[in-house]
Each structure stands twice: as structure tokens, then as C-alpha cells.
Amino acid sequence: MKLEIKGLTKRFGSFTANDHIDLTVEPGEIHCLLGENGAGKSTLMNMLYGLLEPTEGEIVVDGEPVTFTTPGEAIEAGIGMVHQHFMLVPVFTVAENVMLGREQTRRGVLDRKAASRLVRDLSDRYGLKVDPDALVEDLPVGVQQRVEILKALANDAKVLILDEPTAVLTPQEIDELMAIMRGLKEQGTSIIFITHKLREVKAIGDRISVIRRGKVVGTAQPSASEAELAELMVGRSVQLTVDKAPATGGAAVLEARGISVVDPRGHLVVKDVSFEARAGEVLGIAGVQGNGQTELIKSLLGLVRPDAGQVWIEGRDISRHGPRESLEEGIGYVPEDRSHDGFVGSFSVRENLVLDLFRNEEFSRGPVLKRDAIEANARHRIEEFDIRTETMETPVASLSGGNQQKVVVAREFSRPLKVLIASQPTRGVDVGSIEFIHKRIIAERDRGTAVIIVSTELDEIYALSDRIAVMYDGRIVGTVDPSIPREEIGLMMAGATTPAAANGGAA
Amino acid sequence: MTTTTTGPAAASPSPEAPVRDRADVRRQVRLVITFGLVLAALVVFALLIEDPKFTYLLGEKRTAEFTPKDANATVISWGAVVVAAIALVLAVLDRFPRGWKGALLGILVGLAFYAGFLMWAYTDQGEGGFQAFIANPIPGTIRIATPLVLGALAGCLCERAGVINIAIEAQFLSGAFFASVFSSIAYSSLVFIPVALCAVFGLLGGVLAGVLIAAMLGWFALRYRVNQVVLGVVLVAFATGLTSFLLGQIPSDHKETLNDPQVLEKIEIPVLADIPVVGDALFNQTLLVYLMYASVALVTFLLFQTRWGLRVRAVGEHPKAADTVGIQVNRVRWQAVLLGGVFAGLGGAYYTVGSTGAFDREVSAGTGFIALAAVIMGRWHPVGATFAAVFFGFMWNLQNQLSFVQPVPGELLGAAPYLATIIAVAGFVGRVRPPAADGEPYVKG
Amino acid sequence: MSETPKDPLGPGAPDSGVQGQGTTTQGAVPAGKKDAGRNGAGRDRDLTSWLPTVVDSIAAVVLALLVGALLIMFSTPRVVESLSYFFSYPWDFFKFSGEAVWDGYRALISGSVGSGTAWTRTLERAAPLICAGLGVSLAFRAGMFNIGAQGQILLGALVGGFIGFHYDLPPGIHLLAALLGALVAGAAWGAIAGILKARTGAHEVITTIMLNYVGRFTMLYFLGKEALQRPDSDNLLSPPVDDSAAFPTIAGVHVGVLLAVVAALFVWWLLERSTLGFEMRAVGANPDAARTAGMSVARVYVSAMALAGMLAGLAATMTVLGRQDSLTDQVAGTVGFDAITVALLGRTTPLGTVLAGLLFGALSAGGLSMQGAAGVPPELTQVLQALIVLFVAAPALVRGIFRLRGQGRKADVMATGW
């Protein structure tokens, strides 16, 4: 099936998300769509999938112009999509998720057996191993993604759109996914592969289109160099690494011993984890999403009480502290999901900049807020952190992802810290903000703060860390030096303990 | 002090540490406290009995068939104490079973408490005068539970589809009013309708009114995306005002044509009604009660065994996922809300044609909110909600029955069903997981 | 879970009109507009976004009155009878309808603002609505839907009234003691729901509704006691409070009305200027972020509900100490429930609550004279109140009917789950 996009445009009010985009996908081709966060890739795909209506332009399938007003029509036309945020109902089984929207019934009763059979057939044919009767919420993310692909295949997709599919996978799983993609390609399926990772584009793409600020700014061949692609994507030359001096490696500031956490559903998600963070050093915690990092960090903060184990800061036991006491001990925290935990969306920039500081003498006297001091602080931080906002009264929810993150970072960096814990500090953030935030983190390290970075992006881990701990299935499977090759860390992220792990793990 | 404990991370052995979940400990503590209190109360009840004679009745009322019989309370009260003691010991040893066995044992302890309490309440009534007897609680329970169950089913349907329905009370009120009006009109004006079917015609009116309120709920919640909790409260105020207003509009000389309904007759189901103790209670009831039995089965089947039900649950859990496979989210939600209106309207009809007859101001007396509590206590499952509703019916019935005996103040009994709801929601349900998209309007994009 | 926006009705207030889709997920939208010359823009936006809500509110009131007119028409026997010969004499129908609606609404206006006594009645009816409405608003801003004002008022009335008629104290002190008793009792009753939510997660909508009933039975229980029984009556009725415990009157209006204004100022100060209010608003808008920022969500829940109960207790004093009503189980009337609609109509801001309270007070005062002068049933005002809130909550509907321009504000997504 040949898919053409001609002059497709989408406007939200005065903002143009997609500006006259032209794109052609040949049958059996893997077409990569490269662009950074917020460039308009997802908007384009949502129009292609009938989730958004184009303001202008047309979509042509095999020479016939088509319009999709619902995803149902797109599915009918042979378009399948694997969404960045999985479109799976967590409390349904795999089979139920696959049959949803195309249910078979026998005398009015759902035919669950037929659905299971279909899932088994498809997973055999494409080599996607899944248990059809498992509940989706119990499956690891990598398997959930397979379910998403199965869902699209069950609908006989001729064009498969994969939206940032590798963000949640280990390097090995990424290799598997690429193998699956090649297999699909051989069977004649066209694939649109959306990503912002240069390495993957080069590895799998037949053709590359680069999108920036809602426009196609160029096409490239997979043979192009990473630096060229990056420049095309961002619009200027990009520094792919962070400048930093070697770590000074001071005394241990934060120590965790034997931490275990049981989640609300009764699963043991953090299993006897011990580590330490030292002054003037960045400890990177690598691992695929959902291997206990979230819960581990929350237990350090006192947001979740560990079911076993202890945490010390400079020798003081803080395991029974709540978040407020932990913050007062000098922990700075950049949460992984900023709009969930990091800021109050309806609050102004000014208010969010003192969200955890308003109790300090600087900003309040007894029960009364010092409005002048809070305003002065906002003015100062907006300047210092280059937060792009109309005014300090603008609600944070209306800022771009990068500027939202800068608000959180600015707030956390604006008091003296002993430990900085940053989870996914640059997720969903534009390249300019990434560079800025990385620089600030290293500056904080150089001031003698112990820094803990949790990231699922290996690039980020390598760029910042002085030591890397790898988490898998609730454990730290090893602590290694950043000189270790990517492949080895990849293996550890899949659970292997390497010889290097035993050596590097020494405290 | 702690830096000395620092050792190589790799050296610490890491077998699966036997971590006991804190929630698990909390459960045990809660069980021990509950059973301890129950045991203490039962011992006190048993000790307070001086003259262990009491009378009971297999039926609900004294009739030719059912006459009060005498019995001795001692065995029953101390038997109850033994049951509670066993449960307490199991809980202390952390051997209290889980799953359905635990639930069963829990219900048994509840029944034991009920029995022990009744023994205390009905013995020692003094000589002479009126002697209250323990009547069969089942018929009353079923009757009171009928509208609650129907309302809770409406709540389940709406909320499984992701629309919060606090307006069950509004549906009850308007259902009750129009059931009465329809039945009255059928009897007085529509002569072609046989008298026996007038009350059934009233049910139709109730259903229409329930669906009408559901349509308002759907219209404002789905079309205009009004906050659904707010909307529910406002709809209750609206329905309360409107039914009172309309009631005031019925002139007293027109009362028999508009608000003097025929009520539903009891229908005895042969064979089944002859089962001892429960037969008469369960199978000699009105059409509405039988409809209630059928509705529970129907809603459960619809939600969990049909294509439509799968889609309803999908739009309530993850509407965008449903949208991406071509399901029209708001259409499915509309269907669920309107179907819910049918059941809630039937529930409302209970308060007029299903029981006493004429509509009166706020005749449902806030039971719509109790039905809502039943939905939550039943964890959004029709069967669970039914059990919760029956539990409330039981408490209410108990209150009615105990009003004949002295030891407990009437106001405490009056407040008991509401207190029971608070304790149930706070103590045993706590943070339950509602459908993930409950109350969230769906917007494409 | 999902964010509970501070404005329950959706669009309107300056800092609520932000939605998740469209702008934010699409990424860098307004980036780069950072010239200092636009500093005033924030204030301008506040004004323009406030204006349409006033227009919407007025339109909603007008629409509700139109529906009310229909109800008046069909509750007038003459109008209904004229329908039977509508095709012979259509004029009769229009004439009688016009007269009925005119009479009704004229009585409504003259009975609420038409004279000095009408004003007094309006103010005295508005005062408890404002106080209890402030309580509902405050709890809402902290992320809780307080339906329990009714029970909190009953408890406040019980304790305040009991102190008022049972003890003999010097004038000023007696009033103060009764007032304090009512506030503390209301606060305690409100705090129960807060504690239950904070400790067990029990949803406050359920617990506050149930506490209303429990409150009523508590009142009944104590009314049955000898100490609360009015000597000259057989009904469950207490004596009125002593004059030494009653609010003094100034120009025909009791001082309690002033207290309602003070309470509104206090709530405004609390929400906008105090650390506790900052925490409340943060918890109300995003409890997860508030917790991560070291705020105690549990403490906020409890204190917000206690304050809400205290305001309901203040509302109780308006009847018990202000009008010197006897205690019955009906002493709260429907104030507790009307307070919810008042708070919602006032968009849960203090100023809005005061205005909405005045409107509802006027409707309630005028409703009485409508019944007296024009024979319109008093339940009509309850229907009107519900309709007003319903229409305010759905601005798109009202705008569609009146062909008002939309100002580019869609009906916002309001996610408030359980």
C-alpha cells in the first residue's frame, strides 16, 4: 500500500502544529520520521489515524484521496498505529484488548476462546510471544508493546505507525523490535517509524524525513552522519556530549541499605537495594522503565515508606521521615512525571517557584506569605533559568514541556542541597533545555552536592554519570564505571550480572 | 554512627528478604480489633440476659400460618460468643483465611453478632403487656433493598462507562412521582387498561422519568462536559424542587386522578414460595422485586459477557484506547447512562406503586445516596453492589423491627444505617479503585 | 488521580482555563515571547476572562427565569383553562399568561428588594447561605466536595442554642460563648469527614451525606432530653436563646449579617494571602505535587473540613442567635444544601459566594411574597436555583440559546474523578 500525505496542515488556534507537510511512504518501506520533542510528529500521525482532523491538505492511499474522521475509518483503510502511550486497557486481558472494537460473539456472548486463538496464531506467525489470557497491567512494558503491535496486525494493517516505540525498551528489546520490523517489511507492510534517536534511524531506516517546528525541513539517507542529522533536527549544530571535569569523589552523603518496597497491589517491587551517593559525584541509575526505580526514589524521599531497610543522610537515619523532613534535610527532588508530581498546573510560575519553599523565613512570616519576596524570587529565577513565559502569573500548565521542567529545576536548585535526586530530568524536553539542564546538574555536582540521576535513556546516563548503577527487577544488578561499553549495560538492564558488576560495585 | 556499617554492596547477600507488607499487618490489626470488640460486646450481651425466654416468628407478621413460638436464648448467645472467639483467635495467629473463605467467616461473625444482639434485645422484656417477638427479617430486607439494588445497578452501569452518577436520588424521586401519576391516570382515565395492569403502567412512567433524568445527566456531562459530581448534586436539587412543585400543582380535588395510584400486587411463585423460612420471603413478592432479581443477572451478563459490556468497560477505563480501535466513546457512554436510567426509574417506582401508593415530598428520603454508597462498597461490580444494598436493607429492617423493644434509643437505631455506611466505607473499603476514567469527559485529540 | 481544578464549573477564572491537550502536549507553543513590554498582559487577560463569566451568569439567570415563567404559567389555573379554548380565543391565553408571570415576578422583586423590610429579609436569608456557602467553597478549593454543611449547621445550632438558652451569663459573654460553641461544634463535625478521608481514603461525598443524617438523629436525640424541651410545648422543640445570647440588631438587621461579610474577607485572606491557604489550593489542584513538595495532604484535608464546618457553624448562629429560632430537627431548613449551589454559582471564590448568596437570599425572600401575592408555590425558587446553577455550569448551552459570542473559550475539560 502506498501512502501519500500532501500539504497536511493542523492549526490549534493561532498555533500551527503542522505546516504543509508532504510525505510519501512506499509499500514495504521503513520510513523514519525524525524530530525532537514538540516538533509535531505526533500531531501528524494523529491526523493520519483519524484522531485529529486536518485543517488543510489531503491523505492519499494508493492514488485515492481519503479522509478519516474516526480511527475506525483509518483502521478500515489498513492503517495501524502503536502509540507512544499504550492504548491498552490495563484491567483487560491481552485477548480482550486485541478483540476490542472487532469482537466476535456467539449468540450474543463474547467469544473469548476465538480471541485467544487469534492472539496465539498471530504471535506464532510474527514471533511475538504473548500469553493471551494474562492481564495487561501485570505485563512488563516490553510485552505490552508487543500486544499493541498484535492489535494492529489483527486488523490487517498495511501501514504500521510506530510512535517512539523504543523509549520503554532495553537495548536488546530494541534489537528484537527491529528484527520484528524487518520481518513485517519483508511481508510487505510499510512502517512509519517515529523517533528522536539518531542511532535507531540509521540502523533501520530506508528513508528519513526530518521535522522541525511543524515543517518537513529535509530528507536524508541512513548513511548520513549523526551530527548532520542532529543539526537538521535541531536547526543548529548540537553539542552531543556534556563538558565536565572528572568527579572529585568525596565522602558518602546518602546511604541506602537493604531497601525493600511493596507496592499497593502487593508486589515486591524494590528488593533489598543498597547503594551510596557521594559528594561531588553523579550516580546514574540506569534501567528500563518499571524496574523499581520509581519506588526506590520515592522511598528515599519518604513519599513511600520502605517496608524494610534504612536511609541515612550524613549519618542521620531518615528512613522514617516524611517528604517535608526529607526536603528539610537538604534533598532536592526533580520527579519523573513533572505534571503529576512536580508542579501544580493551574498555579502560576511565581507560585510554583516556591511550592516547597514557601515555609522558609524568606517567603513567609508565621501564617502570612511574603508576596514581595515571592515575586522577587520569581523574577530572579525566571531570569537565571531562562524560563520562557509571558509573565510570572502565567499558569505553568500552559508552558512548553522544557520550560515546565525548568520551573521545577529552578525551584529545586534555589536552596542549599546536600543531595539532588533527578528522575528523568529531560524527558519530553527540547534539545536546548536538555543542554541547559545538564549543565546545571553538572554545576551542582561541582558545588559538592551528591547527585543521583535516574534515567531510562542510556545517552543521558552516559553523558552525566560518574558511576552507573543498573536496576533490573527491583534490584541493583551491578554498579559500573561509565567506560563500560553500551552492550554490557544493555545486558545488565536485561538482568545479566557481568563480571564488571562485581568489581565496580565496591563501595 | 552508620558509616561504620558500610560494606561492599556486592558482599551483602540478597536472598528474597521476607518482607511483610504493611497493608497486610494493618489488615490483621483491623481484624483483631474488630473481632475483639465483637467478642466483648457479645459476652456483655450474654451476661446481661436474666430470663433467657424469647419468642420468634417464622413469618414477618402474625398470621394464621405463622404464630410466635418460644425459645431459649442461652445456647444462641453463648454460641455467638464462641464463633467470635474462634475468629479472634484465627486473626491473632494470622491464620484468618483470605478470599471467599474469609468473606464467609466474616459474614458468619456478623450473623453471630446479630444473633447475640437480638437475644439481648428481645429477652427480659418484663411481664405483662405487649411482648415483642423476633420476626423473620428477610421479607423486609428484600423489600427495602429492592430500590437500593436497582439504583446501585444504575450507578454501576454509568460509572463503569466513566460517568459519575450522583443523581440516583434524582432518578428515584422523579421515577416515584411519575410512576404514581401514570398509575393513577391509567386507573382513572385510561379505561382500556385492565385494573391489574395499572400499576405496571405506573412502572413504565417510572422508567420514563428515570431515563429523562439520565438524559439530562448525559446531556450536560457528555455534551457540555460539566463536572459530574457538581452536576449530580444539582440534578438532585432540581428533581427535589420539581417533584415538590408538581405535587403542589395537583389540586386536592384531582388527587385521585393524578396521585392515587394502584399499587403492585404480590405474586406468589408456586413451589418456590413453599420453601420453609425463605420461600415466602423471596418468592411471594411484587413484580418489581422479581424485576430486581432479573436486573442483577441482566446487568452482570451485559457488562461481562457481551460485546457491548466490553466496550462499556473499555470507555470507562481508557476511553482513548477505545477510540483508537474505532469505538465511539460518547455513544457508548450515552447508551450506558440511559440504560442505567431504566433501572433507577424502576427503583424510584418502588416508593409509590411498589409500596405505599401516593407520592409524597422527598419520598425516597435520600436512599439514592445510599445506593451510591452501595456502588462504591460493591467496588463497581453489580453483584458486589447488590450485596452491599442488601446489607443496607437489612440494617434498615433491623431498625424498623427493633423500634418495638426498649433497650436501644430510637435515634441511635435511626442513625444506624448511615453509621454503618460510614464505617463500611471508611473501615473496610477505604481506597478502592474506581474505573480509571470515571468522571472524566472524553475529548478527542 | 486527576487534578481537581479550583473552579468547579469550568471556564472562567483566570488561572483555570488551561487544558491538557492541544497546546501543552504539542510542546513548545508560546516559547520565545519574552519581551518585557508585555508585563501588563497578565492583568488584561484577567479582566477579559472574567467578563464573559458575568455575562454567562446573567444569561443563565435570565434563562432560568424564562423556564420559571413557563412553570408559573402552567401552575395558574386560569392559564390552563384558557388552553382548552385556545383556538377560539388565543388572546386569553397570552393575556392570562402574561398577567400570571408579571404578577409572580413583580412579587418576587418587591418581596426581595422592594422595601426596607424586604431588604432586611433578603439580607437575613442571605447571611447563612453566604457563611455555609463559604464553607463549601473553601473545602472545594482544598479538593473536597463538602455536602455536609447541613449536618454541620445542625450540630452548630444544637451546641450554640443550648449554651444560649440553658446557661445564664452576662450579656456580651453569653453571646460570645454561644457563638464559640456553635463554631467549635460545626468544626468538629466537619473535621470527622476530613479525618476519615485523610486516614482511610473514604470519599467525602459519601461520608458527609451520611453525617448529615447522623447529625439529624443526634439533634433529635438531644431534643428528646428534658433539658432541651420547651416547657409550654408538646412538640420536640427547645426554648429560643436568651436575649443576652442573641445578636444585637442595627437598623433592623442583626449583627450576624456583618459577621458573614467578615467571614468572606477572612476566607479571601486565608486562600490568597496565607501559607495554609497556599497549601489548600495546592492540595486541591494537585495533591500529588503538594505531597511531593512536603505538604501534609492529610493535615490540609482535616483543617479545610474543620474550617468549612466552622463556617457552617457560623451559618447556624444566624438563625439560632440571630432570628432566635427554636431548635428543631428542621432548624437548618435547606440552607446546607442551598449552600452547595451558592458556592458553585459563586465559582467557589469568596466574592462570588457573597454575590450568589445575596441572589439566593433574594430569591428565597421574594419566593415567600410570590406565594402570598401571586399564589406561586414556594418550591419554584428551589427549581429556579437548580436551573441557574445548571445553566451556569454549561455556558456553551446558554450561549447557544442567546447567540452570545463565545470569546474563544470552549467548555473546558473538568476532570474530577472519585
Name the strands in the sheet holding A268-278, side by side, starting at the edge strand that comes first in the sequence: A268-278, A252-262, A308-313, A316-317
**How many independent structural domains does chain B possess?**
2
Mean pLDDT of A245-259: 87
Residue to substitute from B227, B377, B395, interface C, most C β-carbons within 10 A: B227
Lowest pLDDT segment from A53-57, A429-433, A485-489, C352-356: A429-433
Tell me, yes or no, whether B155 and B282 share the same domain.
Answer: yes
How many CB pairs below 8 Å do chains A and C form together?
Answer: 145
- What are the structural domain ranges in chain A? 3-234, 239-330+416-507, 348-415
DSSP string for residues in C351-404: HHHHHHHHHHHHHHHHHHHIIIII---THHHHHHHHHHHHHHH-HHHHHHHHT-
Tell me the mean pLDDT in the region C187-205: 91
Whether A3-234 and A239-330+416-507 share one fold: the answer is yes
What's the whole-number average pLDDT of chain A? Answer: 88
State the smallest CA–CA distance between residue A97 and chain B in angstroms. 9
How would you class A67 by CB atoms within 10 Å of its CB: exposed for 0-12, middle for 13-18, buried for 19 or more? exposed
d(CA A399, CA A172): 36
CA-to-CA separations, A48 to A10, A23, A60, A160, C342, in angstroms, rounded = 11, 11, 10, 11, 46
Task: Select the residue of B7, B21, B310 nearest A262 (Cβ to Cβ).
Answer: B21
Distance from CA of B320 to the nearest CA of A (A): 7
The answer to whether residues B289 and B325 belong to one domain is yes
Give B4's DSSP letter: G
Tell whether the torsion through CA atoms of A164, A169, A175 and A176 is positive or negative: negative
pLDDT of residue C265: 97
Cα–Cα distance, A477 to A286 (Å, whole number): 10
Q: Is the pLDDT of residue B19 over 80?
A: no
The mean of the pLDDT values for chain B is 84
Q: How far apart are CA C65 and CA C105, in angstroms?
A: 9
- Reported as a single tens digit per residue, the pLDDT across B55-111 is 787 777 777 777 777 778 788 888 889 999 998 998 888 888 877 888 888 888 888
Which residues in chain A are closer than 8 Å to B3, comparing Cβ atoms?
252, 255, 315
pLDDT band at C35 (very low <50, low <70, confident <90, very high): very low
What are the DSSP calls for B380-394, one per residue?
A: T-HHHHHHHHHHHHH
Cα distances (angstroms) measured from residue C50 to each of C60, C281, C352, C401: 16, 20, 11, 21
Tell me: do B155 and B54 sit in the same domain.
no
Is C415 in CB contact (< 8 Å) with chain A? no
- Which CATH number does the domain housing residue B150 bear? 1.10.3470
Same domain, B229 and B340: yes
Query: B80: domain range?
Result: 22-122
Inform me whether the pLDDT recorded for B11 exceeds 50. no
Predicted pLDDT of residue B10: 37
Residue B424 maps to a domain: yes
Summarize the confidence of residues B393-406 as an average pLDDT.
Answer: 80
Q: Looking at the complex, report in whole angstroms how far the Cα of residue A327 sits from the nearest Cα belonging to chain C.
A: 7
Which chains have at least 3 CB atom pairs separated by less than 8 Å from chain C?
A, B
SS3 C323: coil
Q: Which of A154-158, B275-279, C169-173 has the lowest mean pLDDT?
A: B275-279
What's the pLDDT score for residue B204?
A: 94
Q: How far is C24 from chain A (nearest CA, A)?
A: 6
DSSP string, C212-277: HHHHHHHHHHHHTSGGG--TT-SSS-PPPPPGGGSPPEETTEETHHHHHHHHHHHHHHHHHHBHHH
For residues C136 and C297, is the Cβ–Cβ distance under 8 A?
Answer: no
Q: Please indicate whether, in this complex, the C-beta atoms of A105 and B445 are within 8 angstroms of each other.
A: no
A contacts of C25 (beta carbons < 8 Å) = 42
Query: How close B343 gets to chain A, by Cα (Å)?
Result: 21
- In this structure, is residue B438 part of a structural domain? no
Question: CB of B34 within 8 Å of any CB in chain C?
Answer: no
Which residue of B243, B320, B418 to mutate against C (max C Cβ within 10 Å)?
Answer: B418
Grid cell 563500560 is found at: A484
pLDDT band at C215 (very low <50, low <70, confident <90, very high): very high
B12 has a pLDDT exceeding 60 = no
Contact (CB<8Å) C206/B421: yes
More confident residue, C272 or A226: C272
Are B327 and B266 in a shared domain?
Answer: yes
Please give the share of chain B, as a percent, with pLDDT higher than 90.
32
Verify that B235 and B110 share a domain, yes or no.
no
Give the closest-approach CA distance of C49 to chain A in angstroms.
13
Q: Considering only CB atoms, which chain B residues are within 8 Å of C416?
A: 227-230, 439
Cα distance between residue A352 and residue A334, in whole Å: 13
In degrees rounded to 5, what are phi and psi of residue B384?
A: -60, -45
Nearest by CB to B430, from C202, C340, C377: name it: C202
Alpha-carbon distance B209 to nearest alpha carbon in chain C (angstroms):
17
The reply to whether B86 and B165 lie within a common domain is no
Is B146 in contact with B117 (CB distance < 8 Å)?
no
Residue B227 in grid coordinates? 463536572
Q: What is the mean pLDDT of residues A363-383?
A: 93
Which residues does chain C have within 8 Å of residue B418's beta carbon, measured at their own beta carbons? 210-211, 213-214, 217
Q: What average pLDDT score do residues B397-414 get?
A: 77
| Interface check C273 vs A, CB under 8 A | yes
Q: Across the interface, do C27 and A401 touch by the CB < 8 Å criterion?
A: yes
CA end-to-end distance (rounded Å), chain B: 56
DSSP string, C38-64: GTTHHHHHHHHHHHHHHHHHHHHHHHH
Chain-chain contact of B418 with C341 (C-beta, under 8 angstroms): no
Residue B434 domain-assigned? Answer: no
Q: What pLDDT does A240 receive?
A: 62
Which residues of chain B from 227 to 286 reach within 8 Å of chain C, CB to CB? Answer: 227-231, 233-235, 237-238, 240-242, 244-245, 248-249, 251
Q: How far apart are CA A460 and CA A464, in angstroms?
A: 6
Chain C residues near residue B226 by CB distance under 8 angstroms: 9-10, 390, 393-394, 411, 414
* Chain B nearest-CA residue for C217: B411
Q: Choosing among C7, C21, C26, C307, which should be mutated to test the A contact, i.e. which has the most A CBs within 10 A?
A: C26
Task: Kindly tell me if the per-residue pLDDT of C6 is higher than 90.
Answer: no
pLDDT band per the 50, 70, 90 thresholds, residue C411: very low
Helices (H), B123-194: 138-160, 168-188
Highest mean pLDDT among A424-428, B22-26, B70-74, B411-415: A424-428
Cα of C252 to nearest chain B Cα, Å: 31
Q: What are phi and psi of A55, to 5 degrees?
A: -75, -40
B118-138 pLDDT tens trace: 888 877 766 655 667 788 888
| Residue-range domain boundaries for chain C | 116-358
Q: With an 8 Å Cβ cutoff, are B8 and A506 in contact?
A: yes
Cβ contact C418–B438 (<8 Å): yes
Please report the pLDDT score of residue B4 as a whole number: 38
Following DSSP, what letter does each residue of A332-401 receive, concatenated?
Answer: EEE-SSIIIII--TTSBHHHHTTTTTTTSTTTEETTEE-HHHHHHHHHHHHHHTT---S-TTSBGGGS-H
pLDDT at B407 (0 to 100): 65
**In this structure, are strands A450-455 and A282-286 parallel, antiparallel, or unpaired?**
parallel
pLDDT given for residue B131 in this prediction: 67
Residues B86 and B178 in one domain: no
Which residue in chain A is spatially nearest to B17 when comparing CA positions? A272
pLDDT of B218 over the 90 cut: yes
- Candidates B324, B330, B438, B443, partner chain A, best to mutate (most A CBs within 10 A): B324
For the CA atoms of B351, B355, B361, B367, what is the dihedral angle to 10 degrees?
A: -40
Segment among A292-301, B293-302, C371-380 with least mean pLDDT: C371-380
Higher pLDDT, A446 or B433: A446
φ/ψ of residue B61, rounded to 5: -125, 160
- CB-nearest to B6 from A103, A501, A507 is A507
Q: Is A92 in contact with B317 (Cβ distance < 8 A)?
A: yes
Q: What is the pLDDT of residues A318-370, one digit of tens each?
A: 988 899 999 999 999 999 888 889 999 889 999 999 999 999 999 999 899 99
Burial of B58 (0-12, 13-18, 19+ CB in 10 A): middle
Architecture of domain A239-330+416-507: 3-Layer(aba) Sandwich (3.40)
Whole-angstrom distance, CA of residue C211 vs CA of residue C195: 13
Same structural domain for residues B86 and B188? no
- Distance from C-alpha of C65 to C-alpha of C39, rounded to nearest angstrom: 42
**Any residues with CB less than 8 A from the CB of A321 and at least 6 apart, and which?**
A302, A329
Chains in contact with B via at least 3 Cβ–Cβ pairs below 8 Å = A, C
CA distance A447 to A445: 5
DSSP three-state, residue A284: strand
Which of C208, A89, C3, C203 lies closest to B379 in space, CA to CA? Answer: C203
Q: Is residue B189 part of a domain?
A: yes
Task: Kindly state whether C405 is in contact with chain A, defined as any CB-CB distance less than 8 angstroms.
Answer: no
Looking up cell 466496550 gives B311
Q: What is the DSSP letter of B278?
A: T
Instruction: Assign domain A3-234 to its CATH superfamily.
Output: P-loop containing nucleotide triphosphate hydrolases (3.40.50.300)
C337 contacts in chain B (CB < 8 Å): 237
C-alpha–C-alpha distance, residues B42 and B84, integer Å: 8
The mean pLDDT value for C371-390 works out to: 83
Residue B12, in any domain of the structure = no
Using the Cβ of B320 and the Cβ atoms of chain A, whether some distance falls under 8 Å is answered with yes
The answer to which of A24-33, B91-100, C110-119 has the lowest mean pLDDT is B91-100
The ipTM (two decimal places) reads 0.82
pLDDT tens for B319-330 read: 999 998 889 999
Tell me if chain A has a CB within 8 Å of the CB of B307: yes
Identify which of B230, B233, B241 has the shortest CB distance to residue C383. Answer: B241
All partners of chain A with 3 or more CB pairs under 8 angstroms: B, C
Distance CA(A407)–CA(C359), nearest Å, equals 42
B320: closest CA of chain C, how far (Å): 13
Give the residue from A335, A469, A306, A357 showing the smallest Cα distance to A409: A335
The whole-angstrom separation of Cα C325 and Cα C303 is 30
pLDDT at C328 over 80: yes
Least confident stretch, A188-192, B347-351, C156-160: A188-192
- Do B99 and B164 lie in one domain? The reply is no
Judged against a pLDDT cut of 60, whether residue B158 lies above it is answered with: yes
Mean pLDDT of chain C: 81
Better pLDDT: A70 or C283: C283
Please answer yes or no on whether B5 and A257 come within 8 Å at the CB atom. yes
Query: Where does residue A447 rank: exposed (0-12), middle (13-18), buried (19+ CB within 10 A)?
Result: middle
**Better-predicted residue by pLDDT, C353 or A226:** C353
B252-280 average pLDDT score? 78
- Give me the mean pLDDT over the A92-96 stretch: 94
The amino acid occupying position B406 is Q
Closest partner residue to A46 among B17, B21, B445, by Cβ? B445
**Alpha carbons A89 and B317: distance in angstroms, whole number:** 6
The verdict on B227 and B109 lying in the same domain is: no
**C-proximal residues of A, 238-297, CB under 8 Å:** none
Report pLDDT digits (tens) over C228-250: 888 877 778 888 888 888 998 88
Q: Do B112 and B249 lie in a common domain?
A: no
Task: Find the CB nearest C210 among B226, B231, B421.
Answer: B421
CA-based angle B222:C341:A347, to the nearest 5? Answer: 70
Mean pLDDT of C56-66: 86
The average pLDDT across C319-325 equals: 88
pLDDT of res. A506: 39
pLDDT confidence of residue A196: 81
Say yes or no to pLDDT of C41 above 50. Answer: no
Determine the pLDDT at residue B406.
Answer: 63
pLDDT at B193 over 80: no
Question: C116-358 adopts what CATH topology?
Answer: ABC transporter involved in vitamin B12 uptake, BtuC (1.10.3470)
Strand partners, A210: A34, A218
The yes-or-no verdict on residue B305 having pLDDT over 70 is: yes
Is B30 buried (19+), middle (13-18) or exposed (0-12) by CB count in 10 A?
middle
